[in-house]
Structures are given as C-alpha cells and as structure tokens.
Amino acid sequence: MSQLPTLSRAQKAAAILVAMGKPSAGKLLKFFKQEELRGLIEAARSLKTIPQSELDRIVSEFEGEFAEGAGLLDSGDTMNNILSETLTPEEVSAIMEGETGDEEEETQEPVWPQLEKLSAERVATILEPEHPQTIAMVLSNMAAPSAAAVLVKIPKAARGEVVKRMMSLSKVSDDARKIAENQLRARMTDETGARDNSAGQMRVAGVLNELDKADLDDVMEDMVAAGAEDLEALKSKLFAFEDVILLSQRSRVSLFDNIQTDMATVALRGASAELTEAVLSSIGARSRRMIEAELKDAAGNVPADEINAARRAIASTAIRLATEGALELPGQQEAEAA
C-alpha cells in the first residue's frame, strides 16, 4: 500500500532532504526559516521506512533526480544527524525550543554549583520554608560535602524527615526539577539583594563611625528628615570604641588580633577601668604587660586628637571584620537573639 497519498508537503520535503545527504542538505538548511525547519524536523520524525518506488514518486513531483539506491530508513535520526553536523548546538536548540521560551533558560548557569558556592548557613536559610521533599531533592543534587554541611544546619525537628525522604527519593521528572531550580534561583536572587543592602549599610556605618558623636547625631537627624529606610538596621551596625565591652569575648579577640599594640595603647588613654580590662583580657600576656607599662608611664601623654583617631580606627576595623563575618557587633547579637 502506497504511503504517498498520506504524506504532507513537509514530509515530502523532509524525505528529499534526507535523500540528498548531509553536505547538500546542510547547505539548503541555512536558507530555511526557523518555523520551516521545525516543521521539517517534526515531519522527518514521523517518517518511517520509505520504499524506493515511493521516494521516486516524491522526487518526480519536484522535477529532479535527488535519490539513488535503496529506500530511506529512520528519517528522523538521519535528519538529526544532518542538523548536528551542519548547525551549531545553539542553533538547533533555538530551532526546536524557540516557541517554548526555554532558550533563555538554557543560557542560565546551573543552580547547583551556585548553591555549593554559598555558605551552609545561607543555603539552609534559603531552604527553610520549603517542604522536606523539596529539601531532600535539593540536597540529593548537591555534592556530598556541601550537602552534609547544609544538613547539619537544618533544624533538628526537620532533619530526620529530610534524610528519610532522601533515602526513598526516586527519579525526579524534568518538569519538577525545573520548577525547583527556578524557585531556588529566585530565592537566591532575593537573598542576594537583601545581602547587598546589608553590605551597603555596613559601608555607611563605617563612614558614620568616623564622625564625632555630635556630628553623628546631626547626620542621623538628616536621614530621618530625608525619609531614609531601615534606620534601625543601620543603628545596629554602628560601633564606637566604647562598645568593645559589649562584644563577646570571641569577637573581642578577633578584633584585637587585627589591631597593633601601639594603636590599642593610644586608644586606651583615659579609658575607664572596665573598658581597659575588656581590651587587655582579649590580647596576649606579653602585649598586655607592654600596654600596662605604657599606660602607667606619665611621660606618655597623648593628644586627644590622636586618641580619638586610634579609637575610630579600631571601630572601623570592627565594622570591616563584621562585614567579612569575622565577628558580630552588639547590634547583630541583639537582632539574632530577638
């Protein structure tokens, strides 16, 4: 029984292109529009074995001799080979996916390597609102070391359920995976935006900490009048040398590991006994003895400007270290406690 009456024009054209062979067909493909190429590819995929007699009848309709030998087998695979050898992968993808909107998605960086670059704490925060099944799928797609680091940051109440689901997790469909990837990508974008805002506040805090108390109060009033947002968050990042006593012992040690002994000595001139002890208890025994000896030296009087400059430099260092995550400012500790 003849297939010819049932073949569409696109199927006939696809059959002839396959019969022409890759070099000639490849040259012609460059002249087709994308929608025409999509039609040819779909037509070729629907073709099965074409007897030589039917191929001859198709060729006669185009008034040419385009084929020789036996009939055509597996036209869909042959058309795919022609496309792969004559067009770039990007061009083939654009042809087949141009109407689905997937072209942009293909150019995006995979979400899993992006997740693994983040700290375990940040990934756990991103995953916190998700269902345990989603968390299990995400951890299963991450490298084992990264997944393990995130797992221990997940609240204990949910951890067992997540691991249980990881053990029973079967193959995830492509559609479900894409939905999860897009959701994670959006969450990371939102979280990164919030983190960038926090970094801006840190920079402003570093500037404001260079001001005297009276000037700082004036600037804060100006910001209130200008309608600046998140002033409470900014205030939590302001830090003065006198706030050293409010730092945790660990944060104080981190801070003064980055401060030269001479600067600490100058900053402690005229400081209260409580503040002095907070600083001295955060440094090594040898440095402590040196500073104590200097502070007892009456000849070591230092101008107030130099003392204030040293204190501001220490405060700026604390701001920088907090930005880098090396210590927590008092305002940050209060926010976490709340």
Encode 113-145 in three state secondary structure.
HHHHHCCHHHHHHHHCCCCHHHHHHHHHHCCHH
User: Burial level of 337, CB count in 10 A (0-12/13-18/19+)?
Assistant: exposed
* CA atoms of 2 and 6, how far apart (whole Å): 8
Asked if 269 and 329 sit in the same domain, the reply is: yes
**Residues 6+ away with beta carbon under 8 Å from 284:** none
Give the three-class secondary structure for 72: strand
Note the residue count of the chain.
338
Residue type, 196: D
| Domain endpoint, select from 106, 125, 148 | 106
Domain of 38, CATH number, reads: 1.10.220
Domain stops at, among 50, 72, 106: 106
pLDDT at 76: 52
CB 20: neighbour CB atoms within 10 A? 17
276: tokens are 């002095």
The whole-number pLDDT of residue 78 equals: 56
Structural domain boundaries enclosing 26: 4-106
| Nearest partner of 256 among 248, 245, 264, judged by Cα | 264
Q: Is 117 found in the same domain as 81? A: no
Q: Which of 53, 85, 106 marks a domain boundary?
A: 106
Amino acid 250 reads R
Smallest CA-to-CA distance from 294 within 274, 266, 255, 275 is with: 266
CA separation for the pair 139, 145 (Å, rounded): 10
Render each residue's pLDDT in the chain as its tens digit; 338 residues. Answer: 444 456 777 777 777 777 766 666 666 676 666 677 777 777 777 666 677 777 777 767 664 443 343 344 445 555 566 556 555 555 556 555 554 444 444 456 677 787 888 888 888 888 888 888 888 888 888 888 888 888 988 888 888 888 888 888 877 777 777 777 777 777 776 655 445 456 667 677 768 877 776 787 888 888 888 887 777 777 777 888 998 999 999 999 999 999 999 999 999 998 999 999 999 999 999 999 999 998 887 656 789 889 989 998 998 899 888 878 888 888 665 545 54
Instruction: Centre a 10 Å sphere on the Cβ of residue 229 and count the other Cβ atoms it contains.
Output: 9
Residues 12 and 101 in one domain: yes
Q: Are residues 135 and 188 in the same domain?
A: yes
Q: What is the pLDDT of residue 136?
A: 87
Extract the tokens encoding 73: 């087998």
Give yes or no: residues 90 and 13 share one domain. yes
Please tell me the predicted confidence (pLDDT) of residue 338.
Answer: 47
* Residue 10 near residue 39, CB atoms below 8 Å: yes
Angle at 262 between CA 258 and CA 265, to 5 degrees: 100
**Would the pTM count as exceeding 0.75?**
no
Q: How far is CA 258 from the centre of its chain?
A: 30
Exposed/middle/buried for residue 335 (C-beta within 10 Å: 0-12, 13-18, 19+): middle
For 28, phi and psi rounded to 5 degrees? -70, -35
The conformation of residue 128, written as its DSSP 8-state character, comes to: T
Q: Are 304 and 243 in the same domain?
A: yes
Domain presence at residue 172: yes
Quote the CA–CA distance of 271 and 242 in Å, as a whole number: 9
Please check whether residues 263 and 303 belong to one and the same domain: yes
Q: What is the CATH number of the domain that holds 255?
A: 1.10.220.30
State the number of CA atoms in the 13 A half-sphere of 219 facing the CB.
Answer: 16
Q: Whole-angstrom Cα distance, residue 55 to residue 161?
A: 61
Q: Is residue 230 part of a domain?
A: no
Contact 143, 116 (CB under 8 A): yes
Structural domain count of the chain:
3
DSSP string, 271-292: --HHHHHHHHTTS-HHHHHHHH
Please, what is the Cα angle at 302 between 298 and 303, to 5 degrees?
Answer: 140
From the list 233, 256, 254, the residue with the least C-alpha distance to 325 is 254
The confidence score (pLDDT) of residue 258 equals 94
